[in-house]
A = this chain, B = another copy of it.
Amino acid sequence: MNDKEKALIEAKANILKALGHPTRLWMAEQLAGGERCVCELAENIDADFSTISKHLTILKQAGVVIDEKRGKQVYYKLKVPCILNFMPCVEAVLQANAQTHIDLLK
């Protein structure tokens, strides 16, 4: 693997890593339904505001979301909406895992 390929795979892994935290994945799923301000997201997350803000920063740095300040509030939205298209497949993995457990019990 050369340097270019390595940089590419690192960049891609970084995006998946950004989505690989429950709070951040939940945020992304919320944003799939349209933009939200930080306060709206915060309503349903049991964590410090600063924690929420940092999670959003990570999503932003990964390029998953973009933000826009309007008045006192900051609105976030998905930068490339297709980013959640693969969730059905992620769920298929969960299904397959569950099936494995069931099989083990037989």
A11 within 8 A of B: yes
Number of copies: 2
Is A6's CB under 8 angstroms from B22's CB?
Answer: yes
Which residues in B have their C-beta under 8 angstroms from that of A26?
1, 9
Q: Interface on A for B, CB 8 Å cutoff?
A: 1, 6, 8-22, 24-26, 29, 44, 62-64, 79-80, 82-83, 85-87, 89-94, 96-97, 100
Residue among A25, A90, A96 with max Cβ neighbours from chain B (10 Å)? A90
CB distance from A85 to the nearest CB of B (A): 6
A37 to nearest B CB, angstroms? 19
Taken together as a complex, chains A and B put the C-alpha atoms of A11 and B91 apart, in Å, by 9
Asked if residues B6 and A14 are in contact (CB atoms below 8 Å), the reply is no
Contact yes or no, A25 B44, CB < 8 A: no
B82, B87, B96: the one contacting A63 at CB < 8 Å is: B96
